[in-house]
Amino acid sequence: MSMLSQIALGVGVNLLTIVAVVVMLEFAGFCLSGNFVEILSNRAYVRAGVITAALVIWVLCALSVAIWAWALMFALLDLFPNIEESMYFSLATFTTLGFGDVLSPQSWRIFCGMAAVNGLLLFGLVTAFLIQQIQRHHLLSPT
């Protein structure tokens, strides 16, 4: 499967899981409130779920931009044989997964490690953003 096909498939699976998890989390939150009739009739709950899903999808897009930026920098520096390997290394490093099957050139280890630092910082930042926005939109929704 080509790199672009893998990216497209990955995006599709991400979108599907984001929507599914948001729906399930919203439903769980409503069930815990114990007010099932209100769940079915209140549009504010649906609006909150849509906003949450949209925020998560937006964050996924933003993180994808950062991962692509690292991949393009690795490619421009000619650290890997092709863009696919640069993207794979960028994704594995940015998420700190680090499979270890593709390694950076020894002379670029510090620079490549910065991609992991960047990933950690950005994941923390977007987590704080998501929590803030979800709380804001749920608290502003009429109950």
Q: What is the pTM of this model?
A: 0.74
pLDDT of residue 7: 79
Determine contact, residues 105/79, Cβ cutoff 8 Å: yes
pLDDT (tens digit, 9 = 90+) per residue, 58-83? 888 888 889 999 999 999 999 999 99
Report CA torsion sign: 110, 111, 114, 116: negative
Listed residue (110, 113, 120) closest to 89, CA to CA: 113
Listed residue (86, 97, 98) closest to 3, CA to CA: 86
